[in-house]
Chain A
């Protein structure tokens, strides 16, 4: 599959025309992303608590504190575990669901609608749903595993896995639909030809289907990872970051400092770290995509 490469700048005139056409988009981007990002960074160098009339330059004070802040490192670890586990599960299950969908002869529309339902629900609604599913005594989850009274949201060892399951349930359909759409674009002749050549089902999966899905999976990985790194709603509603901060992600920590206690400088420093982490990971993925494209 060939990709469309960006139009190569030719003579200076073309270049200027291109810039002119790009100007509105660039201006909007500058206003809505670059300016706030710079402002955020500037704010993170201040100690600013408007309620108490505190506004002084603090330099790297907040970053120094974060370097030794146990709550910050805990949130960092929680975010990393949550992102890695939920994205891995989402990709694996999403892929399986897409393959199952393609293999299905009847009821595809119904299956797709059902998948979409989970994806279309607002995160807060999903959270409320899982609050009931995880209910210690009346919850369906505990009932389904044989009436054991597992303390899903109140046990430091279970709360994060519980949230990961909820997140996987909610966003797996996104991956499934992306993969399914790509699969629909694969001409059946390829498989027929493979069959003629005597390829087994496993060979067809690993030699044809997966390589064809590679880029779509990379894109899904990019989207899902960036989303998971900024996870907020589920933990905010279900556990409030507890118990004992075991589900407090960086964004929840940032929210608590920024909006609950209004420590604008310190909260901005946390946000800057989230921003830089997300940017770094996005950059790695985009490079991988580029290489992939170049190889294609």
Chain B
């Protein structure tokens, strides 16, 4: 799992070493934490104030973050913002934060970038500053609702949305047009279209529908989308897992069927975003489920499918009323122990402001969380897909907003994988997962 395994800022980090393994890094992290704790930071005096902003490395042709921070410093004389990068993968980032924030003490940073699924966990642990009174309601309303919901825990707001992500259906427009087809609204239609196009093209190497089935966070996201598409969810309001087992089993059985019937190639059971993106990008598949970052890459001049693709909402299953993509992305929060809560909150508000998000979107093709930017005249020429992405993001749903999300996901990953490779029935999976999760959470409720 990388930063939400989807957030665009890290997409350029999708090369070797990104999931670099545990041991050494853990040691390095702990050593780093010790050092940081030992050195601490100079006591605050009347001298210039330094804010430390901890964030995932944002790679690209330009570094919009550095420019934005200089701008913030210019408007706040006497304040210096130090920007510090986090380790590559989300697991390591999560670990870094936990090691640093657990047990209080002098904070090593003031403002932090968080994966959206960590916000409730950190808020419950008491590590984040309650931002509710620092941000006017109207300012929150300017962001996607699902993003604000994901940052809201026990009725308070703990982080501000910064980067937006949503699951989309990519399709080969040229192929669909050739056979007079419209993007599928149901999985039944999708399966029919795949058969029709494959028969017509007489191309055995052309795959149907690609998605992410490797045993990792991405599989949980794909499974969640299947559940929503069948009119149910993973957790209901009372925190019950698989509230509608019949529909859940049906949705999971459908995922398995996609592979068993050859609509999806067998290798999706080991596929992550990049593996599926490359295959689709080489013109080897009709449909793909992926995040918005793929759109930019597919429209590059050297892309074999440039100008031949479209995006649509994910299809629905038999009992669903419509498909919804899972939302994700990054938020900005403030360390509870910061010595400059006002300034830190101001920095968060500045970085999530419309102006800053416009700069980010223009510089490194990160999708903003502010809805107005999706019809911004300055951005539309370079981002023709924005209106469509906006519509699809609106329909998106956050993953369960619960402090236990990581535990839930880690418990479900092997279970879901067992279903899609066909060695466990959806019924057994649902039953066993419920028992397992109940055991894991026995002390937490």
Residues of A bordering B, CB below 8 Å: 47, 49-54, 56, 65, 70-71, 123-125, 128, 135-137, 149, 151-156, 159, 232-233, 236-237, 239-245, 248, 255-257, 259-263
Q: Is the CB of B423 within 8 A of A156?
A: yes
| Docked complex Cα distance between A54 and B26 (Å) | 23
Contacts of A233 in B (CB 8 A): 21-22
| Docked complex Cα distance between A126 and B1 (Å) | 20
Contacts of A149 in B (CB 8 A): 265-267
- The yes or no answer to B214 lying at the interface (CB within 8 A) is yes
Shortest CB–CB separation between residue A13 and chain B, in angstroms? 41
- The yes or no answer to B16 lying at the interface (CB within 8 A) is yes
Contact of A123 among B21, B94, B215 (CB under 8 A): B21
| Docked complex Cα distance between A244 and B213 (Å) | 10
Contact of A56 among B205, B406, B443 (CB under 8 A): B443
Q: Is the CB of A154 within 8 A of B266?
A: yes
Contacts of A155 in B (CB 8 A): 266, 269, 421
Residue in A closest to B205 when the chains form the complex, CB atoms: A137
Number of contacts between A and B (CB, 8 Å)?
140
| Docked complex Cα distance between A71 and B440 (Å) | 13
Known: A154-B269, A242-B270. A51 touches B125 (CB 8 A): yes
Interface segment, one of B78-86, B153-161, B382-390, B409-417 = B409-417
Q: Is the CB of A65 within 8 A of B439?
A: yes
Q: Is the CB of A244 within 8 A of B444?
A: no
Between A239, A244, A255, A263, the greatest number of chain B beta carbons within 10 A of the residue's beta carbon is seen for A244
Q: Is the CB of B22 within 8 A of A255?
A: yes
Residue in B closest to A235 when the chains form the complex, CB atoms: B21
- The yes or no answer to B98 lying at the interface (CB within 8 A) is yes
Contacts of B275 in A (CB 8 A): 135
Contacts of B400 in A (CB 8 A): none
Contacts of B17 in A (CB 8 A): 124-125, 128
- The yes or no answer to B336 lying at the interface (CB within 8 A) is no
Shortest CB–CB separation between residue B27 and chain A, in angstroms? 12
Known: A54-B444, A56-B443, A155-B266. A259 touches B20 (CB 8 A): no
Known: A240-B214, A259-B95, A262-B98. A51 touches B124 (CB 8 A): yes
The 8 A CB mask of B262-280 against A (1 = contact, 0 = none) is 0001111111000100010
| Docked complex Cα distance between A66 and B205 (Å) | 45
Q: Is the CB of A136 within 8 A of B98?
A: no
Q: Is the CB of A243 within 8 A of B269?
A: yes
Contacts of B125 in A (CB 8 A): 50-53
16 A-B pairs, CB-CB below 8 angstroms? A54-B443, A56-B443, A124-B16, A137-B284, A153-B270, A154-B266, A154-B270, A155-B421, A159-B270, A237-B20, A237-B21, A242-B413, A243-B213, A244-B417, A244-B424, A245-B418
Shortest CB–CB separation between residue B158 and chain A, in angstroms? 14
- The yes or no answer to B376 lying at the interface (CB within 8 A) is no
Contact of B98 among A50, A71, A239, A257 (CB under 8 A): A50
| Docked complex Cα distance between A151 and B407 (Å) | 29
Residue in A closest to B408 when the chains form the complex, CB atoms: A261
| Known contacts A50-B98, A149-B265; 7 further A-B pairs (Cβ under 8 A) | A51-B121, A52-B443, A54-B443, A65-B439, A156-B421, A244-B421, A261-B410
Q: Is the CB of B23 within 8 A of A232?
A: yes
Q: Is the CB of A232 within 8 A of B22?
A: yes
Shortest CB–CB separation between residue A139 and chain B, in angstroms? 10
- The yes or no answer to B403 lying at the interface (CB within 8 A) is yes
| Docked complex Cα distance between A240 and B214 (Å) | 8
Q: Is the CB of A51 within 8 A of B21?
A: no
Q: Is the CB of B98 within 8 A of A236?
A: no
| Docked complex Cα distance between A233 and B25 (Å) | 12
Contacts of B414 in A (CB 8 A): 71, 241-242, 244-245, 248
Q: Is the CB of B16 within 8 A of A125?
A: yes
Q: Is the CB of B267 within 8 A of A151?
A: yes
Residue in B closest to A255 when the chains form the complex, CB atoms: B22
Contact of A260 among B265, B269, B410, B418 (CB under 8 A): B410
